Amino acid sequence: MTKLNGKVALITGSGRGIGRAIALKLASEGAKIVVNDLDAAPGDAVAAEIRAAGGEAIAVNGSISESGFADRFVAAAMETFGGLDIIVNNAGYTWDSTIQKMTDEQFQAMLDVHLVAPFRLLRAAAEPIRILRKKEAEAGLEVFRKIVNISSIAGLYGNAGQASYSSAKASLIGLTRTLCKEWGRYKVNVNCVAFGLINTRLTQPIEAQQKTIDVAGRDIKVGVQPQMLDAMARMIPLGRGGTPEEAADAVYLFCSPESNYISGQVIVCGGGLLI
């Protein structure tokens, strides 16, 4: 018997990188997955990969920052799988500048994807969770649900060039701890994982031609200067950046039954990197 057998998990940004690893990990433990990616192709591919392995998954693709997305995402889970047990607010990207060069658009974009979108998704899930919990209570059942918000060590300690990203990720911790207090009566564990250096396409070494990703028609530069990556690796006690699978394992800790009496907490998945 797998530990998440029959649970329904909604994971934003799960078509690539860490999100994909989270989706595959939870699916391997028996969860039914609602995948999401900004682009349809990777989102659909992950859902197909889970089904090919014998699991259950659908994809609800599109920008999590768009008006109406949260309601659509939650509705798809309820209509397809009849439940809602786990939400992982994972989707995001960085758009960096020092504060004197940062535009209002840059700052707001980071708030929108890392704070406003998770807020909207959790708000949309509130009523279904309340109704499900009421039915369980009437049946004498104690069923725990899991919310895992993804923050960053930048949200805990700040990071030069990331005033917007750090601010949004710090605020997400505040949202986590508030919902822990509001949703405890519904038997919902609300926790947060703050990542350090995880090796994904967003943290790949910058080569001669810096790569970009398209986000809502904007070309966003991605990658980190090799010398900075080397410096960070030297600061990590375990000696290297983490893999997406290791990041997913940290999220799984807060989705498993072993976390049923843990709520309002932030763990750092960073190989010992704390500043």
Residue 267 falls within a domain, yes or no? no
Residue 237 falls within a domain, yes or no? no
Query: Could you list the residue range(s) of the whole structural domain that residue 70 is in?
Result: 8-199+243-262
Task: Give the H/E segment covering residue 166.
Answer: helix 163-183
E-strand ranges in the chain read 8-11, 32-35, 57-59, 86-89, 145-152, 188-195, 212-215, 218-221, 266-269
3-state SS of 39-72? Answer: CHHHHHHHHHHHHHCCCCEEECCCCCCCCCHHHH
The whole model's pTM is what? 0.94
pLDDT number for residue 201: 79
CB 179 within 8 A of CB 89: no
Q: Which member of 165, 186, 252, 261 is catalytic?
A: 165
Residue 222 falls within a domain, yes or no? no
Burial of residue 53, with CB atoms counted within 10 A of its CB: 0-12 exposed, 13-18 middle, 19 or more buried: exposed
Residue 96 falls within a domain, yes or no? yes
CA–CA separation, 95 vs 83, rounded Å?
35
pLDDT by residue for the chain (275 residues), tens only, comes to 689 999 999 999 999 999 999 999 999 999 999 999 999 999 999 999 999 999 999 999 999 999 999 999 999 999 999 999 999 999 999 999 999 999 999 999 999 999 999 999 999 999 999 999 999 999 999 999 999 999 999 999 999 999 999 999 999 999 999 999 999 999 999 999 999 999 987 777 776 566 777 787 787 777 667 777 778 888 999 999 999 999 999 999 999 999 999 999 999 999 999 87
Q: How far is CA 92 from the centre of its chain?
A: 8
Domain total for the chain?
1
Joined tokens for residue 260: 């049923």
pLDDT number for residue 36: 98
> Which amino acid is present at 98?
T
pLDDT number for residue 223: 65
For residue 60, what is the domain's CATH number?
3.40.50.720
pLDDT number for residue 231: 81
CB 38 within 8 A of CB 61: yes
Residue 207 falls within a domain, yes or no? no
> Is 252 designated active site?
no
Q: Which residues pair with 232 in a beta bridge?
A: none
Q: How far is CA 104 from the centre of its chain?
A: 24
Query: Under 8 Å CB-to-CB from 174, ≥6 apart: which residues?
Result: none
The neighbour count for residue 155, using CB atoms within 10 Å, is 25
Residue 84 falls within a domain, yes or no? yes
Residue 206 falls within a domain, yes or no? no
Residue 213 falls within a domain, yes or no? no
**Alpha-carbon dihedral angle through residues 197, 231, 171, 261, given to the nearest 10 degrees:** 50
The neighbour count for residue 139, using CB atoms within 10 Å, is 8
